């Protein structure tokens, strides 16, 4: 067997696990030495034959692999990036197929993915581009007329251009001639993405040729407005946008176009420059007084308090490059609850002290302060007592471990006990029959329960809700631990189930009869259910399947027109 393996963009640890294991077990490796990082060969065993194909012809490559196959060696043909992109792999596979030599292909991480990672970029930004064009400039290798750069540029989509670093001037000219881009369209060149020698150049189609002088190969050129700052937030995570897995919050403001996760406010020239550097590294938008406004810096519209009122409910975090008093007075009228308030961080315009001011744990201000301090070389100032004493806060632990806090009012009692070294009351369980072990107990509910549902068509929402509540109560399980509802695909559009899941933000998974029928277990059987659905049991099979083969906690239980079963995710894993 011959395995074509994508080596990834360069970094040895960016090869897939499957590819790495094949290299370790290979007895012959034929690698593209002109592009593949030789450090990847350190995965090979000491007795493995290694052949560099950089100087070989196609016939020589095939003959080398054929020889290894004839000698019953485990052969790996190691290509850079992903073999399907500019890998000349089709001709090799066709030759092997003609010789009757079996082969498989293992995909790899392409350099266009690594380049986007280096730029902290997303090719498919809402309101900007939903299309990525992967192409190359015509050189010694021709391209079809319809795929010449000028013709592709008409669309103005995000573009990743391979094998063209030596023709940047011609490329940028062709792109602007196409009409979809202008001289001011953002562009970037990423040299050896993910390698230790990685180099990132940002500019425009007008400036990139000068910036890229001296770079002739092993670089990718990216073009498009996805490299800019203006875009619309995805509706997928917008609180006002409901879908199958989450109910819309009609009281939440509709996210406005361009609303970023982090917004920066600065008031001095030095502060504006620091905010710009942080925004470049982290993403976000920068707001400054009119006299400091320029490209990528926006002027405040009115007073700082009005700016804070606008962004407090929209952004994930507010960062003030200013005195702490300015930030405190600006956000004071906006404060609601620590469960919903965004993170607020304050730092001086030299970046020496970075203060987590608000929503340190749930909002993530503590972690944000540490991240900013790492960028500025400053000191993260964290004043929450648990962090000061290097004790993990209960609410931090709950979020990290997929638990829901049932009684948030108990957090302060638990934190105080932890600081004083006293016994504390924390119960992590989905069971409701457990007696509180302490006078004040913080209840954390792990989201690991899967509810299987079967019901008649048109069942009333009130009847389903009442049945589920009674069922969970009878099972002694917390409602907050319910993570997934599962059923047969015939119920995909059942209004009562959909409404139940929307109201509680619980995913609803469905499977066809064949999938359910393959699930093994001591399930009850119903001839009537089999006749109607094609499988003898829906609720138990769906619960076990969605849980990944976990155990049934409560078997099929019947209510008028409704059948319910409950399973726990296999190995107590979280279900998603």
Residue 250 within any structural domain of the chain: no
Q: What CATH number does residue 323 fall under?
A: 3.40.50.11220
Question: In terms of domains, do 281 and 378 share one?
Answer: yes
DSSP 318-365: EEEES-HHHHHHHHGGG---TTTPPEEEEE-TTSSEEEEEE--SSS-H
Q: Are residues 527 and 424 in the same domain?
A: no
- Please give the mean pLDDT across all residues of the chain: 86
Residue at 249 is within a domain: no
Do the domain assignments include residue 39? yes
If you average pLDDT over residues 400-407, what whole number do you get?
Answer: 72
- Report the number of distinct structural domains present in the chain: 5
Do residue 80 and residue 23 come from a single domain?
yes
- Mean pLDDT over 361-376 rounds to 86
| Same-domain status, 292 and 400 | no
Q: How confident is the model at residue 561 (pLDDT cuts 50, 70, 90)?
A: very high
Same domain membership, residue 194 and residue 119: yes
Give the strand pairing for 449-455 and 562-568.
antiparallel
Say whether both 295 and 211 belong to one domain.
no
- As a whole number of angstroms, the distance between CA 213 and CA 6 comes to 30
**CATH for 97:** 3.40.1010.10
pLDDT at 437: 60
pLDDT for position 136: 93
**25 and 103 belong to one structural domain:** yes
Q: What does the pLDDT average to over 19-31?
A: 96
Tell which of 204, 227, 250 closes a domain. Answer: 227
Q: Which of 78, 109, 140 is the last residue of a domain?
A: 109
530 located within any domain: yes
Q: Could you say which DSSP state residue 536 is in?
A: S
Distance CA 128, CA 474 (A): 51
287-341 pLDDT tens trace: 999 889 888 899 987 789 999 998 998 888 999 999 999 999 999 999 987 657 8
**Band of pLDDT at residue 259, cut at 50, 70 and 90:** very low
CATH assignment of the domain containing 459 = 3.30.420.180
Encoded tokens for 372: 């900013």
> In the chain, what is the greatest distance between 2 CA atoms, to the nearest angstrom?
79
Determine contact, residues 222/116, Cβ cutoff 8 Å.
Answer: yes
Show the tokens assigned to 350. 């030299």
Are 406 and 376 in the same domain? no
pLDDT of residue 281: 84
Average pLDDT over residues 215-244: 75
- Inside any domain, residue 232: no
Residue 385 has pLDDT above 80, yes or no: no
* Within a domain: 404: yes
Lowest-confidence range among 106-115, 304-313, 385-394?
385-394
φ and ψ of 354, to 5 deg? -115, 110
Last residue of a domain, one of 227, 248, 281: 227
233: in domain: no
Q: Assign 3-class secondary structure to 254-313.
A: CCCECCCCEEEEECCHHHHHHHHHHHHHHCCEEEECHHHCECCEEECCCCHHHHHHHHCC
Say if residue 434 is in the same domain as residue 378: no
Examine the domain organization and report whether 130 and 219 are in the same domain.
Answer: yes
Q: Which of 57-61, 201-205, 488-492 is the most confident on average? A: 57-61
8 A C-beta contact, residue 213 and residue 191: no
Q: Give pLDDT tens digits for 502-537.
A: 888 788 999 999 999 999 999 999 999 999 999 999
Do 514 and 420 share a structural domain?
Answer: no
Q: Does 28 fall in a domain?
A: yes
Residue 404 belongs to domain spanning = 394-446
Q: Are residues 504 and 468 in the same domain?
A: yes
What CATH number has the domain bearing residue 139? 3.30.950.10
């Amino acid at each position: 067997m011959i395995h074509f393996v994508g080596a990834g963009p360069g970094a040895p640890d960016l090869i897939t696990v499957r590819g790495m294991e094949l290299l370790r077990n290979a007895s012959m490796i034929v690698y593209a030495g002109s592009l593949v990082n030789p450090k990847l060969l350190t995965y090979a065993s000491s007795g493995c034959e290694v052949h560099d194909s950089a100087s070989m012809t196609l016939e020589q490559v095939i003959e080398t692999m054929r020889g290894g196959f004839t000698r019953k060696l485990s052969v790996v043909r190691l290509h850079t990036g992903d073999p399907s992109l500019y890998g000349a792999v089709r001709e090799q596979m066709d030759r092997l197929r003609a010789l009757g030599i079996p082969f498989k292909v293992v995909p790899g991480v392409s350099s266009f993915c690594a380049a986007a990672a280096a730029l902290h970029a997303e090719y498919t930004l809402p309101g900007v581009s939903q299309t990525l064009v992967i192409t190359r400039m015509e050189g010694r290798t021709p391209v079809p007329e319809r795929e010449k750069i000028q013709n592709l540029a008409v669309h103005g989509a995000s573009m990743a251009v391979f094998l063209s670093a030596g023709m940047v001037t011609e490329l940028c000219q062709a792109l602007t001639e196409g009409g979809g881009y202008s001289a001011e369209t953002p562009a970037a060149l990423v040299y050896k993405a993910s390698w230790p020698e990685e180099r990132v150049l940002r500019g425009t189609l007008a400036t990139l040729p000068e910036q890229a002088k001296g770079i002739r190969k092993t670089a990718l050129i990216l073009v498009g407005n996805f490299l800019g700052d203006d875009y619309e937030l995805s509706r997928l995570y917008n609180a006002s946008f409901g879908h199958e897995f989450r109910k819309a919050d009609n009281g939440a403001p509709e996210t406005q176009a361009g609303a970023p996760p982090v917004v920066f406010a600065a008031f001095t020239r030095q502060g504006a420059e620091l905010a710009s550097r942080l925004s470049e590294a982290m993403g976000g938008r920068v707001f400054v007084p009119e006299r400091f406004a320029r490209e990528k810096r926006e002027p405040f519209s009115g007073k700082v308090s009005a700016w804070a009122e606008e962004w407090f409910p929209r952004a994930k975090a507010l960062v003030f490059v200013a005195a702490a008093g300015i930030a405190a007075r600006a956000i004071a009228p906006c404060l609601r609850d620590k469960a919903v308030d965004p993170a607020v961080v304050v730092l001086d315009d030299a970046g020496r002290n970075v203060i987590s001011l608000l929503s340190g744990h749930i909002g993530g201000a503590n972690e944000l302060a540490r991240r900013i301090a790492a960028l500025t070389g400053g000191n993260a100032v964290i004043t929450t007592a648990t962090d000061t004493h290097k004790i993990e806060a209960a609410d931090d632990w709950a979020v990290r471990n997929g638990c829901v806090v049932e009684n948030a009012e108990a957090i302060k009692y638990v934190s105080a006990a932890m600081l004083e070294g006293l016994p504390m009351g924390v119960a992590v369980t989905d069971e409701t029959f457990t007696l509180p072990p302490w006078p004040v107990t913080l209840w954390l509910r792990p989201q690991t329960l899967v509810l299987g549902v079967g019901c008649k068509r048109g069942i009333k929402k009130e009847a389903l809700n009442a049945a589920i509540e009674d069922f969970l109560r009878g099972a002694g399980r917390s409602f907050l631990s319910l993570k997934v509802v599962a059923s047969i695909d015939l119920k995909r559009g059942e209004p009562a189930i959909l409404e139940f899941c929307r109201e509680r933000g619980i995913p609803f998974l469905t499977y066809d009869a064949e999938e359910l029928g393959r699930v093994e277990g001591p399930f009850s059987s119903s001839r009537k259910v089999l006749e109607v659905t094609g499988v003898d049991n829906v609720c138990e099979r769906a619960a076990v399947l969605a849980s990944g083969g976990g155990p049934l906690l409560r078997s099929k239980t019947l209510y008028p027109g409704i059948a319910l079963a409950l399973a726990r995710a296999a190995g107590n894993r979280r279900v998603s």
